[in-house]
Amino acid sequence: MAYDRNNVFARILRKEIPANFVYEDDFAIAFHDLYPKAPVHLLVIPKGEFISFFDFSEKASPELMVGFTKAIHHVIQCFELQKEGFRILSNHGTHGGQEVPHYHVHIFGGRPLGRMIPQEA
Ligand code: AMP
């Protein structure tokens, strides 16, 4: 599958459409999810053309992998989510429920988050 340069997060990266930004560095940007599923629901996306974690973990440079991970850490710390706890999550493909085909990590926090996934088999 080819990377779609017109996906919504690619357009946010290029600043063609607005987002509620919370952080940017050489490796990543972070912004509030437009439809939050928790009191804090942030998205962190790497700078580069990566469809999902699977693509990123195959193709990204070690420098970008470290920089992206550190950006996630920084955002967690900015919102002090390490104190009460948080969840990070990344979807891939149809079964993963991925809607936007640019690699992104969700950060959820601000309340107890319950079970990881519904219990259906
Ligand atoms: P996923 O299902 O993992 O691909 O998650 C995509 C997420 O992007 C969803 O939680 C959406 O609410 C969120 N989203 C979609 N469009 C925007 C946007 N323009 N700005 C911020 N978040 C968005």
**Tens-digit pLDDT profile for residues 59-115:** 999 999 999 999 999 999 999 999 999 999 999 999 999 999 999 999 999 999 998
Instruction: Identify the CATH number of the domain defined by range 8-26+42-109.
Output: 3.30.428.10
Residue nearest to atom 20 of ligand 1 (CA): 34
Burial 24-42 (b: 16+ CB within 10 A, else e): eeebbbbbebeeeebebbb
Task: For residue 32, report the distance from its CA to the centre of ligand 1, in Å.
Answer: 9
Q: How far is CA 74 from the centre of its chain?
A: 13
pLDDT digits (tens, 9 = 90+) for 7-48: 999 999 999 999 999 999 999 999 999 999 999 999 999 999
C-alpha 76 – ligand 1 centre gap (Å) = 18
Residue 38, token pair as written in the block? 């928790």
Provide the strand spans (E) within 9-109: 21-24, 28-32, 40-46, 86-89, 105-109
